[in-house]
Structure 1
Amino acid sequence: MGLEADVHPGSTADVTRRRARTVLVVLALFIVINAADKAVLGLTADPIRDELGLTATEFGTVAGSFYLLFSVSAVAVGFLGDRIRTRPLLAALALVWAAAQLPILLPAAGFGALVATRVVLGAGEGPGYPLANYTAFTWFPGKERSLPSAVVVAGGAGGTIVAAPLVILVSNTLGWRASFGLLGGIGILWMLAWLRLGGSGPYAARVDATAAVGDAVPGAVPGAVDGEVPFRRFVTTGTWLGATFSAFTVMWTLAIGFAWLPLFLEEQAGFSDAEISGILGLPALSMAVLVLTSGIVAQRLLRRGTTARVAQGLLGALLPLLAGACLLLTTRAGPGVALLLPLVVAFSAGNGQTPLTNAAIADICPPGRRSAALGLSYALAALSSLLAPYVTGRIIDAAPSEALGYGRAFDLAAWLLIAGGVISMLLVRPDRDAQLLGTQRRSDF
């Protein structure tokens, strides 16, 4: 993975490639924190519900409130990303994350404070994934975006792997509020690291002449925001629509995993806190492996001349189909160890498609449209995360038993995943759409 096929040590290309790898690692850590911030509520659900006396529907409301402004901010910052340098934008997002987590340390913070701070946190985290992917894409040329996107997306799995044992340990020793405070402090540390090491790369839409030295990279490709093709044409292509709908279904399942999976494992599967800490790391570990593997395979296929429809569309669609099938088995496998394999695949495989669809969207858009196109796609997909925790809580409360409620909620998520896989298989065709839009050559910048 690199910016040039053949570079000499100490050359400008070599320096740029090493800088690209550094920025990619920092962006992956950004998503690690992003995922941990989402996961902390589900990981501390039991003590939160006990202390505050929340019903399943009330807890679902808290979880869902995270996504109230999530999509709005993703769209707004997505459009800003095509006009403002990503260094201050990402630093500002990390500061919002920290500011939203720290007030929960106050003993008086109850149901209302949880809802309010989750709304603020969601507004700060909504643009996180698309802006991090867009920033990564500014460091890598066409046909080399699937793997960098996979590294960024894999940070989400890393966040869950790290968060599960750490949050449970802190919660059990210092109380559930301390877990929120810890993540707030980590967000501030990341912001300081990003201001020192981060910045946009040579494949950005433009490099502002007034940018800080760290953002100006030798060999940058100049150019104004592309305006020849109306923005609506990018977001009405089969590639954009198929990728967005499939992401909607994947994020529905992920939202259930963050908010309800820890409770399902405790109340229905009968696992202890220590066992749950280990189990929650398994889907995250599987997700990291599948995300990176799909990115590597797709990039190698593209380098060998395989069409993007096969490398990104068809290959990616297989993963939510597999996840949906396994999710149907999860509540039918019975409690205990028997459910672990389908559960792990169900809550991990779908996200393996994400780096491929992100790269597919980037491939049909010129540089000056990418941030907005990725931001709008993610914003619409994230609406499922607003709905899923609340809908799941309503289904569980309305069912004759919690076991039946979980079964119905998981089945709904499974059929959504299967539908998303089928739709993306039919619609995601980056080569065709880039040719129709006349962006095939420019998307290689």
Structure 2
Amino acid sequence: MALNFADKSVIGLAAPPMMADLGLTATEYGTIASSFYLLFSVSAIAFGFLGNRFSGKWLLAGLAVVWSVAQLPVMIPAAGFAVLLITRVLLGAGEGPGLPLGVHNAFTWVPPKSRGLTAALLTVGSALGVIVGAPLLNAAIHGLGWRSAFGILGLLGLMWVAAWLLVGGDGPYAERGRPPAGGEAGIGTGGAAAGWPPTYRAMLGTGTWLGTLASGFAVYWGLAVAIAFLPLYFGKVGYGPTTIGFLVTFPAYLSAAGMLLGGWLSQRLIKRGVSRHLAQGMFGGAFAVISGLSMLGMTRFDSPWLALPLAALAFGVGNSQTPLSQAAVADTVPARRRGAVLGLWYALVSTASIVAPTVTGMLVDAAPVPLVGYGWAFDLAGAMAVVGGLIAVFVVRPDRDAARIGGDAPAREPAQAA
């Protein structure tokens, strides 16, 4: 996940010299940034269904080869707009299933009650990709040229594949294929006599699915804006190239802390008998609301010392809802359908990233000055995060939905004494 997210974020770090070298407008640059997500969702859906049937070890290895090799043509000096567009599409096709398949694979190693923290520990890799990768990639961009960063990431990805083939695999909770006659052991332990299998219509029509989809879509809209345009925004408000490489890590630090704290606290609450509505739905939705309110405030203060912490909250805290949402969705559905359902969820959530960079680029180009355009874009993203988070707070109820359709969440445990 660290390499996966470093691959996503490199486009924003390389944007200033790349745009100057190739003569790109903000809209053209936004189109390149958006192209990453063109096949992202389609690939996530396809490999989500494959994840129900085949080992995550080989699926993840194959995807990593694709996304690593896709970046190498950018190093060719003559590579321009068309090459960047094509390679970002291929990169997105390879990386689209990375998070849902990774989470699905990680869940094969833990029981249901431990999924919240497990998802957080995995997803925190995305923050590490920025914390560790951004300063190093920024140094490479300004020391070796902007093309070098893409080549470095491609080679690191191929090195990861070799390591993964040595140590990766499925855990003892892995379930694939069709259940034995008479149903599936462990399914429906939330209290429903749902039978096998629940339909996808039933699984995708729950409040948990729709609520996490709403908050996830809004958060990923803001995340796509941050990846593509936050370095450019920091440059417009007066920060130098070297400083920007460190500033973009601030949201990642908060994201890592929020994901770990949220996952740990959610898991602790569930073990003490607290409902998943509170531990996953309300808690995750609150992260999105805080992110949106911070985004709405960050351009309304002249002081950069106040704008910086608000920017960190705006683009860091929201992503802390992602592992809680993934755990909630996984708890709501049978284990043998989990790979496909997580893939579908992530595919629909990430469609926000197809549109957000292009819309942001258009707003920046249409504004009288770029900073006004950034303000419009951040306001739009902030309002979406607030609305999406509030929807999640009220409708994400994994215990109820698992009981109704025969999901994977066990019945709530008796409350323990503090």
TM-score category, normalised to shorter length:
over 0.9
Residue in structure 1 matching 2:23, options 32, 53, 60: 53
Matching residue of 2:105: 135
Q: 2:287 aligned with 1:319, yes or no? A: yes
Letter of the structure 1 residue corresponding to residue 92 of structure 2: G
Aligned residue pair count: 399
Q: 2:14 aligned with 1:44, yes or no? A: yes
Letter of the structure 2 residue corresponding to residue 421 of structure 1: G
Please tell me whether the aligned partners of residues 366 and 443 of structure 1 are also in contact (alpha carbons under 8 angstroms). no
Q: CA deviation at 1:338?
A: 2.4
Name the CA distance, whole Å, in 2 between partners of 1:337 and 1:432.
45
Please tell me whether the aligned partners of residues 123 and 259 of structure 2 are also in contact (alpha carbons under 8 angstroms). yes
Name the CA distance, whole Å, in 2 between partners of 1:443 and 1:153.
26
Letter of the structure 2 residue corresponding to residue 409 of structure 1: A
Q: 2:358 aligned with 1:390, yes or no? A: yes
Name the CA distance, whole Å, in 2 between partners of 1:175 and 1:441.
50
Distance 1:244 1:45, change over 3 A: same
Please tell me whether the aligned partners of residues 332 and 409 of structure 2 are also in contact (alpha carbons under 8 angstroms). no
The 3-state SS of whatever aligns with 2:171 is coil
Residue in structure 2 matching 1:371, options 323, 335, 339: 339
Instruction: Percent identity, please.
Output: 48
Residue in structure 2 matching 1:161, options 128, 131, 136: 131
Q: 2:118 aligned with 1:148, yes or no? A: yes
- RMSD in angstroms over aligned alpha carbons? 1.7
Q: CA deviation at 1:316?
A: 1.1
Residue in structure 1 matching 2:71, options 101, 114, 118: 101
Could you tell me the TM-score, scaled by structure 1's length? 0.87
Segment of structure 1 superposing worse, 198-207 or 103-112: 198-207
Matching residue of 2:252: 284
Which stretches of structure 1, 4 residues or longer, exceed 3 Å deviation after superposition? Answer: 440-444
Name the CA distance, whole Å, in 1 between partners of 2:169 and 2:410.
22
The 3-state SS of whatever aligns with 2:407 is coil
Deviations 1:350-409 (A, max 9, x none): 111111110001101111110111000000010000000000001111112211111111
Residue in structure 2 matching 1:305, options 268, 273, 283: 273
The 3-state SS of whatever aligns with 2:112 is coil
Matching residue of 1:247: 216
Please tell me whether the aligned partners of residues 141 and 147 of structure 2 are also in contact (alpha carbons under 8 angstroms). yes
Tell me: higher relative CO, structure 1 or 2? Use CA pairs within 8 A at least 6 residues apart: 2
Deviations 1:318-356 (A, max 9, x none): 111111111011111125222111111001111111111
Letter of the structure 1 residue corresponding to residue 205 of structure 2: T
Name the CA distance, whole Å, in 2 between partners of 1:139 and 1:266.
44
Deviations 1:172-228 (A, max 9, x none): 1111111000000000011111100001111111399xxxxxxxxxxxx999xx942
User: Any stretches of 5+ residues in structure 1 without a counterpart?
Assistant: 1-30, 209-220
Residue in structure 2 matching 1:339, options 307, 317, 324: 307
Letter of the structure 1 residue corresponding to residue 374 of structure 2: Y
Please tell me whether the aligned partners of residues 164 and 281 of structure 1 are also in contact (alpha carbons under 8 angstroms). yes
Please tell me whether the aligned partners of residues 399 and 409 of structure 2 are also in contact (alpha carbons under 8 angstroms). no
Could you tell me the TM-score, scaled by structure 2's length? 0.93
Matching residue of 1:234: 203
Deviations 1:265-287 (A, max 9, x none): 001x2111121111111110111
